[in-house]
Chain A
Amino acid sequence: MELSSEDNNLTEKVLPPIEQESDVELETKVKKYLRGEGADLETLKDKKLKTQLASREKLYGKSAKTAAKIEKWLLPAEAGYLETDGLEKTWRVKQTDIANEVDLLSSRNQYDIVLPDFGPYKLDFTASGRHMIAGGRKGHLALVDMMSMNLIKEIQVKETVRDVAFLHNEQFFAAAQKKYAYIYGRDGTELHCLKERGAVARLRFLKNHFLLASVNKSGQLHYQDVTYGGMVASIRTGKGRTDVMEVNPYNGVVALGHTGGTVTMWKPTSQAPLVQMQCHPGPVSSVAFHPNGHLMATSGKERKLKIWDLRKFEEIQTIHGFHAKTLSFSQKGLLAAGTGSFVQILGDSSGGSSSHNYSRYMNHSMVKGYQIEKLMFRPYEDVIGIGHSMGWSSILIPGSGEPNFDSWVANPFETSKQRREKEVHLLLDKLPPETIMLDPSKIGAMKPSRRKEKPSRGEIEAEKEVAIEAAKSTELKKKTKGRNKPSKRTKKKKEMVENAKRTFPEQGHNNTASKKRRIGEDAAAELPASLKRFARKN
Chain B
Amino acid sequence: MKIKTLSRSVDEYTRERSQDLQRVFHNFDPSLRPMEKAVEYKRALTAAKLEKIFARPFVGAMDGHRDGVSCMAKNPNYLKGIFSASMDGDIRLWDISSRRTVCQFPGHQGAVRGLTVSTDGNVLVSCGTDCTVRLWKVPRPTLEDSSVSSENFIEPAAEYVWKNAFWAVDHQFEGDLFATAGAQLEIWNHNRASPVQSFQWGTDSVISVRFNPGEPDILATSASDRSITIYDLRMSSAARRIIMMTKTNSIAWNPMEPMNLTAANEDGSCYSFDGRKMDEAKCVHKDHVSAVMDIDFSPTGREFVTGSYDRSVRIFPYNGGHSREIYHTKRMQRVFCVKYSCDATYVLSGSDDTNLRLWKAKASEQLGVILPREQKKHEYNEAVKNRYKHLPEVKRIVRHRHLPKPIYKALGIIRTVNDSKRRKEDRRRAHSAPGTIVTKPLRQRRIIKEVE
Contacts and interface: CB of A to CB of B under 8 A. Distances in A.
B13 A413 contact: yes
A106 B9 CA distance: 10
A429 B7 contact: no
Contacts of B32: 402, 405-406, 409-410
Interface in B358-406: 388, 390-391
B129 to A, nearest CB: 45
Contact of A444 (B4, B27, B40): B40
B1 interface: yes
B38 A446 contact: no
Interface string A23-38: 0000000001101000
Interface string A380-409: 111000000000000010100111111111
B1 A444 contact: no
Contacts of A81: 2-4
Contact of B34 (A71, A103, A105, A249): A249
A105 B4 contact: no
A380 B6 CA distance: 8
B22 interface: yes
B14 interface: yes
B24 to A, nearest CB: 5
A101 interface: yes
Interface string A232-263: 00000000000000000111100000000000
Contact of B37 (A407, A413, A443): A443
A509 to B, nearest CB: 28
B5 A382 contact: yes
Nearest to A63: B28
A77 B4 CA distance: 12
B1 A446 contact: no
Contacts of B33: 409
B9 A444 contact: no
B7 A33 contact: no
A67 interface: yes
Given A80-B5, A105-B7, A407 B29 contact: no
B28 A67 contact: yes
Interface string B429-447: 0000000000000000000
A428 interface: yes
A88 interface: yes
Contact of B10 (A85, A106, A413): A413
A307 to B, nearest CB: 18
Interface residues of A, number: 66
Contacts of B256: none
Contacts of B427: none
Interface string B12-28: 11100000001111111
Contacts of A406: 25-29, 32
B20 to A, nearest CB: 12
Contacts of A505: none
B430 to A, nearest CB: 19
A398 B34 contact: no
B30 A35 contact: yes
Interface of B: 1-10, 12-14, 22-35, 37-43, 46, 388, 390-391
19 contacts: A74-B28, A78-B4, A83-B3, A85-B1, A93-B1, A102-B5, A208-B34, A208-B39, A405-B25, A406-B28, A407-B26, A408-B24, A409-B33, A413-B10, A428-B46, A429-B42, A429-B43, A443-B41, A444-B391
Given A74-B26, A76-B12, A444-B391, 17 more contacts: A33-B28, A67-B28, A71-B28, A77-B6, A80-B4, A80-B5, A93-B3, A106-B6, A106-B7, A292-B31, A293-B34, A404-B29, A406-B28, A409-B33, A411-B25, A413-B14, A415-B22
